[in-house]
Chains A and B, each alone.
Chain A
Amino acid sequence: MMSGHIAISIIGGIGFGLAAIGSYLGFRQHVKWAGSLLRVAALVAIAVGAAHLLRAVAGLGAVGALQNDFSAAVLLAGLIGLVGLGTHFSASLKGLDGFLFLVAAAVSFTGAATTNAPRADMTHRPWFISHALAFSLSATFFIAGGVAGVAYLLVNRMLRRKRGTSLVGSVAPLESLERFGRWMPLLGFPLFTYGILTGLYGVAHRPDLSHTAWYLDLTFLLSAVAWAVYAYLCAASLRGPHIRGRRAAVLSTYGLGLIVVVFFVREFSSRLHQ
């Protein structure tokens, strides 16, 4: 089983990595076949992940499959890859696909290192499915928003340094990046909130946690911090125009950092998920 997981991780990681290389070759070197490489590599990686998930659901059931850290990583990588493919086909988000495929590749490779620690018994808790899906989707939106933030900061820096315009036209304009970066947290935040609430509900129904300080679990604490950051970002982008442009991009980037940390903590040291 482990060697199968490693193979899926490596195929996914290499596929998304090649897609990122295809994106780079396309927008920097104008290589003709780069687009085909990107699409084929990304589709292969997504297809391998989807096949694994279907097999896991068929074998373990939806709850069992989603409870598995490896499957969660595969799902997240696939979702990020899908967003990457979407941005690849969008003329106004040029260059963003490469960043997203890189993140998808990293998530995919990380999947190989996940532990097969014993899981809490969730077999009879269908709400867990929505909890896991909500977290995966919200993480995808936050990561896409964070990547747009990073791209915004890079383009912004290039424009302010005033040293040549070689990148001009190769990467998306600031306005598009800002719009994309504003929408992603707005889509992800309700799902993230739902994920936390269902998580709390799950904790309340776990007798093994009733006499422990579960609220001090690092996953919970970091999720709460991330929730506060995104709550502020969403409120600011809806109500206060002062969080725009570079400031919004910086916040999205911090959010991305937090999500990455949450992901690793959840994968490797969370008691709530064991």
Chain B
Amino acid sequence: MRTLVVGCNHRSAPVEMRERIAFDEAAAARALAQFREAFPAAECVLVSTCNRLELYVARPVHGQPRIAEVMEFIGRCHGVPASTFASGLYSFEDVEAVRHLFRVAGSLDSMVIGETQILGQVKTAFEQAQAAGTVGRTLNDLFQRAFRVAKCVHSTGITAGRLSVGSTAVDLARQIFSRFDDKTAMIVGAGKMGELTLVHLLETKPGRLWVTNRTDARAAELADKIRRRHGVPAEVVPYAQWIDRLADVDILISSTGSHEPILTAAQFKPIPRRRGYRAILLIDIAVPRDIEAAVGEDDSVFLYNIDDLQQVTEANLAQRRQAIGRAQEIVEAEVLQYVRTQDRQDLGPLVATLRRHFQTVGDQEFARILPKLTAPSQRDRELIQQMLHRVTQKLLHNPIHLLNNHADNGTTRIYADMLRTLFDLHEEEAKAAPPAEQGPTDGS
């Protein structure tokens, strides 16, 4: 079987093009059914996410579909000619296709390298194709291997840490507090950035949420918005009281447009004692800063300003970059191993065809000279046939031995294709090829 992938992602095609050829779950199920009808001997998995659309196909060596046919198939599913989106598509075959899938599953091809969502999406696509009966032995082996590779890639640390200011703030909160249902979060200022960070923080489900702003009406507006959009009740705290209320706050997000610090060390000094020296997380994402740096000197205070958060995300990113090299090495090693296994499996039918080809030539020559011989006995016929068989075996011994040996260094495919061309085996092999195994597999 030959593997190929045709698709587009956030780098190859703009969003307008991606949305034109995207598949939702129902459309993907229809497309898989259509594919099975159109190419019964081939296998297919359709991965469609917001950032990519890819069709992974395994077809018999001399069978269909080829790349152009897959492109046309995508167009047919959406009722548009392939020429309208072909410029945004990429395609890979054989080793390149395997490498691409391993990179995609391991999130090395993602917009945010190291995000783990893609692995779940690929698994879902695979399960959908299994249910639709478009996964056979080749794609089953390939995808199971891809899931294992993804796990190995994740273990390099490529998924460590988060990369947005908001999610980093949540990570920090989770490292400080063990539970949040008894915690109080407060946001000072009704700016966009603060709201975004707060939305991330709502993941932790804090027990109480307080909102304050210089203008009470804007605070009420934000509280109302949070209540409507996220279903979290938020209480408006009058701006004049917010410092006083700090004694009860565990997580503070500050994001005002003030040109002077709104919380000085002197104002904060009595707070730790009033809090019983419990830990407090202060996230200051305002520029200029809202909270004086000296506030963070207290043992119970964890103060992060926008630079600190960016420094943390940069460090996370650097760590991921460091892991990329190791992850790529893992992918390359796995690609080589997979291709070797696959080549060995493809070798059997080729060797059989080659033997048959030589045997046929021998038989033809035997039939041609037989009438020219003067009354050959049965024994003579047998001896000539034995001789032809031995010659065939001896002539084939070296090429087959070579093929088997090269299955270990990954160049089998070149030799196999060369033999096919030299002895014109394409048609013969296609005729002899059994229909591809189809139907759902257990995924084990």
Contact = CB atoms under 8 A, between A and B. Distances in A.
B157 A166 contact: yes
B155 A159 contact: no
Contacts of B179: 175
Interface string A235-262: 0000001101111000000000000000
B154 to A, nearest CB: 7
A270 interface: no
11 contacts: A29-B155, A31-B155, A159-B302, A164-B315, A166-B315, A166-B319, A168-B171, A175-B176, A175-B177, A244-B300, A245-B300
A173 B299 contact: no
Interface in B149-182: 154-155, 157, 160-162, 168, 171-172, 174-179
B426 to A, nearest CB: 45
B161 A164 contact: yes
Contacts of B311: 162-163
A166 B276 CA distance: 30
Contact of B178 (A29, A92, A169, A244): A92
A30 interface: yes
B308 A162 contact: yes
Given A29-B155, A165-B171, A165-B172, 10 more contacts: A31-B155, A164-B318, A164-B319, A165-B168, A165-B316, A166-B161, A173-B177, A179-B178, A245-B279, A245-B299
Contacts of A176: 178
B176 A159 contact: yes
Contacts of A168: 161, 171-172, 174-175
A187 B160 CA distance: 37
Nearest to A31: B155
Contacts of A165: 160-162, 168, 171-172, 175, 312, 315-316
B143 interface: no
A31 B300 CA distance: 35
What bracket does the count of chain A residues touching chain B fall in? 20 to 34
Contacts of A175: 176-179, 279
B304 interface: yes
Contacts of A92: 178
B269 interface: no
Interface of A: 29-31, 92, 155, 159-160, 162-169, 171-176, 179, 241-242, 244-247
Given A164-B315, A166-B157, A166-B316, A159 B178 contact: no
Given A160-B302, A164-B315, A173 B174 contact: yes
A163 B177 contact: no
A221 B163 CA distance: 53
Contacts of B277: 241-242, 244-245
Contact of A244 (B160, B276, B308): B276
A241 B154 contact: no
Interface string B21-43: 00000000000000000000000
Q: Which of B178, B279, B319 counts the most A-chain CB atoms under 10 A from its CB?
A: B178
B279 A155 contact: no
Interface string B293-317: 0000001101010001001100110
Contact of A30 (B154, B177, B273, B276): B154
List the 7 closest pairs (A to B, CB-CB), nearest first. A164-B315, A241-B276, A166-B160, A176-B178, A175-B178, A244-B277, A173-B178
B175 A246 contact: no
B413 to A, nearest CB: 33
Contacts of A174: 175-177, 279
Contacts of A242: 273, 277
A164 B114 CA distance: 15
Contacts of B302: 159-160
B175 A155 contact: yes
A245 B280 CA distance: 11
B20 interface: no
B316 A159 contact: no
B326 interface: no
B62 interface: no
A114 to B, nearest CB: 39
Nearest to A175: B178
Contacts of A166: 157, 160-161, 315-316, 319
B278 A244 contact: yes
Given A30-B154, A159-B176, A165-B171, A247 B299 contact: yes
Q: Which of A159, A176, A246 counts the most B-chain CB atoms under 10 A from its CB?
A: A159
B272 to A, nearest CB: 9
Contacts of A164: 160-161, 312, 315-316, 318-319
Nearest to B168: A165
Nearest to B176: A174
Q: Which of A169, A245, A246 counts the most B-chain CB atoms under 10 A from its CB?
A: A245
Interface string B175-210: 111110000000000000000000000000000000
A179 B177 CA distance: 11
Contacts of A247: 299
Contacts of B172: 159, 165, 168
A173 B251 CA distance: 15
Contacts of A171: 175
A133 B172 CA distance: 41
Nearest to A246: B299
Contact of A162 (B160, B174, B312): B312
Contacts of A159: 172, 175-176, 302
B319 A169 contact: no
A162 B309 CA distance: 8
Contacts of B315: 163-166
Interface in B307-340: 308, 311-312, 315-316, 318-319
A245 B168 CA distance: 22
B312 A173 contact: no
Contacts of A173: 174-178
B174 to A, nearest CB: 6
Contacts of B316: 164-166
Nearest to A25: B155
Nearest to A241: B276
Contacts of A30: 154-155
A173 B174 CA distance: 7
B423 to A, nearest CB: 48
Contacts of A241: 273, 276-277
Nearest to A172: B178
